[in-house]
Structure 1
Amino acid sequence: MAQTMRAVDIKGGAGPIEALHIAEIPKPTATGSQAIVKIKAFGLNRMDLIQRMGHYPVPAGASKILGVEFSGIIESVGDAPERSFKVGDEVFGLAYGGAYAEYIAVSTHMLVHKPSALSWEECAGIPETWITATQAMYNIAKFTPGKSILWHAGASSVSIAGIQLSSADSASSVFATARQDEKCAFAVETLGATAAFNTTTQDWVSEVKKATGGKGVDIIVDFIGASYFQQNLDAIAKDGVVVCLGFMGGTKLPAGVDISAFILKRCSFVGSSLRSRDEEYQGKLRDQLVEHALPRFQDGRFKLLIDKVLPWENIQEAHKLLEDNKTKGKVICTIG
């Protein structure tokens, strides 16, 4: 077998889109519970843009190569893989890094058998986004049927997953926000949200309160951070939970922020991440995904929405699509 492979590299270690290029590097080998997967397709995530610029710390021991989700075929395994995985299996999975490459070394605890009904491209867009939505909604916010929930960035890949999970599991109301009318319409008409509000043209807090009879929403999943902090506290219901997964709107709160809601409403604000979690934690989330969502992917109840598929040689164009913030669904790159 070849000792090298092609992978997306960043000139200088970090930089703008123009720094992305494909280089020849050493091919990984599998040890312990790992498998070597020959990658067919990989999904792009916003964290990839942040890591490319040198602002996203890679977990200790993880590959410095971009990318955490992929689909492909197992080429080899270490000496202690999960018993259900063997050479030749078609799989998709989640890794700590290394997916922008021809091959990846990944724990078999984070692999899922690829259903024949789904394409390589669809499977490459599942792991990071659907597991993140599952973690935020069930494990962090403790969602139960009958609660209301709001997903910010309603056309983002995580919220696309979350809106569908919320509707399928009997949320009383599923709200979304976005900064474009087209994305708001998409959240309602395509994904099934109860209502969606344009944060640039509407007072979304007032709209949420109107829609909930003044109560507010039980769960808010937020990717924006500081610029939505006060509004989230104003819109959250009594005993509600705000789950913060990102800070696209900054990390420094302005003067005058009123935190009285923490006592008056007994609400909680919880930050969370997925990539920094250990393998055991991520493995349990994989099992949740397989049990809870996979059957619904296969029978079509859940939509796997892909905005654009590009050959990986066009990786600069793929990153530009994400940076322009106009996508509704995943950007996927294919190899081969």
Structure 2
Amino acid sequence: MQRCLRLCSARNRGLSPVSTENMLAVHFDQPGGPENLHLKEVPKPSPGEGEVLLKVVASALNRADLSQRQGQYAPPPGASSILGLEASGHVAELGPGCQGHWKIGDPAMALLPGGGQAQYVTVPEGFLMPIPEGVSLSQAAAIPEAWLTAFQLLHLLGNVQAGDSVLIHAGLSGVGTAAIQLTRLAGAIPLVTAGSQHKLQMAEKLGAAAGFNYKEEDFSEATLRFTKGTGVNIILDCIGGSYWEKNVNCLALDGRWVLYGLMGGANISGPLFSKLLSKRGNLITTLLRSRDNKYKQMLVKTFTEQILPHFSTESLQRLLPVLDKVYPVTKIQEAHVYMEKNKNVGKIVLELPQ
């Protein structure tokens, strides 16, 4: 019989023992606010053909988790309905047909279409990545979704080149902090928008050449001043509707505007097409979660070969995931409230009971 372990009870009495056939997972009975979240005992999954069972140590929180909890973002067909798009832990079981790249007990991190905020998750073998030397399991949980997204935006879609200027909206989000570092690694110039002086200072420490407080100034005019009127070659945009006119205003001729989120709404009012056409601008849209397995495996493989070595302590230009807060999963409600307030600088990580 399944048991719901409400967070208030978990805080007061600790987590109850779970049978070996089951596991604890983040759950909500109906869409709504953070108060609907709780831990629930559910059946432990078994790996299918070409899959690995990962015993999860940590999982990071993403905006997609908030949208799914609110009933606005359904998982892709066939994906777990449990929240969590990335996780780190240890290989617990190998399904039939695995190619022998992994052994039981190996530490690993994984890109997921869902299911990461649970004690176990099944993962296609090609979605797993080794954890670089010097990176903790909590840090590793903050890499897959954010860094693969940023890598995809910059390289596969934005075609970033050395010397390009790149405007990164939500520059202190998980994707933003990854994009700043990856832009620098590519020899390009990262610029960011953020909503506080503290966040702008953190962005500069990560390597941003300049930052603009969108609450206090017109970021498009500030961008044009910085670029001496030429505009930026690439815009990484998770805001959407409310930023469209300013984005086009500060886009360079033949620039690439890569849209991957709609935090500022989906509606457009005004001459978007004529303004974009006058810049010969490229509007590129993308989502990662809904991509097919073949694409994701290609992305993971390319990232593992080209970028992952730079996370090692031995790298001359070391990359690091930025962690803001680490919560025990029993405080999942608190973690969601914190992210909704847009306070985090970098990633919010959840640690699972072992």
Any residues of structure 2 matched to 1:196-275 within 5 Å, and which?
Answer: 196-254=211-269, 256-275=270-289
Any residues of structure 2 matched to 1:89-128 within 5 Å, and which?
Answer: 89-128=106-145
Residue 210 of structure 2 corresponds to residue 186 of structure 1: no
Among 305, 309, 325, the residue aligned to 1:308: 325
2:59 paired residue number = 42
1:4 paired residue number = 22
For 1:174 and 1:183, how far apart are their aligned partners in 2? 14
Greater CA drift, 1-10 or 128-137: 1-10
Contact 1:238 1:266 (8 Å CA) reproduced: yes
Contact 2:132 2:309 (8 Å CA) reproduced: no
Contact 2:160 2:186 (8 Å CA) reproduced: no
Deviation at 1:201, TM superposition (A): 0.8
Contact 1:233 1:259 (8 Å CA) reproduced: no
For 2:202 and 2:273, how far apart are their aligned partners in 1? 33
Q: CA RMSD in A?
A: 1.2
Counterpart amino acid of residue 81 in structure 1:
C
Cα-to-partner distance string for 1:124-147 (whole Å, 9 max, x where unaligned): 000000000000111111111121
Contact 1:82 1:109 (8 Å CA) reproduced: no
Counterpart amino acid of residue 60 in structure 1:
P
1:19 paired residue number = 36
Give secondary structure in 2 for the equivalent of 1:275. coil
Deviation at 1:258, TM superposition (A): 4.3
For 1:152 and 1:138, how far apart are their aligned partners in 2? 17
For 1:120 and 1:203, how far apart are their aligned partners in 2? 40
For 1:201 and 1:95, how far apart are their aligned partners in 2? 37
Change (3 A) 1:146 1:25: same
1:28 paired residue number = 45
Counterpart amino acid of residue 186 in structure 1:
M
1:322 paired residue number = 339
Q: Normalized against structure 1, the TM-score is what? A: 0.96
Deviation at 1:295, TM superposition (A): 1.5
Cα-to-partner distance string for 1:248-302 (whole Å, 9 max, x where unaligned): 1101112x34432332211011110000001111111111221222121112611
Contact 1:69 1:124 (8 Å CA) reproduced: yes
Structure 1: runs of 5+ lacking an equivalent: none
Give secondary structure in 1 for the equivalent of 2:65. helix
Among 121, 125, 144, the residue aligned to 2:161: 144
For 2:329 and 2:230, how far apart are their aligned partners in 1? 47
Change (3 A) 1:294 1:258: closer
For 1:50 and 1:93, how far apart are their aligned partners in 2? 21
Contact 2:324 2:346 (8 Å CA) reproduced: yes
Deviation at 1:115, TM superposition (A): 2.8
Identity %: 38
For 1:63 and 1:2, how far apart are their aligned partners in 2? 20
For 1:169 and 1:302, how far apart are their aligned partners in 2? 12
For 1:214 and 1:195, how far apart are their aligned partners in 2? 15
Contact 2:165 2:233 (8 Å CA) reproduced: yes
1:84 paired residue number = 101
Give secondary structure in 1 for the equivalent of 2:153. helix
Structure 2: runs of 5+ lacking an equivalent: 1-18
Cα-to-partner distance string for 1:223-243 (whole Å, 9 max, x where unaligned): 110000111111100000100
Contact 1:8 1:100 (8 Å CA) reproduced: yes
Give secondary structure in 2 for the equivalent of 1:130. helix
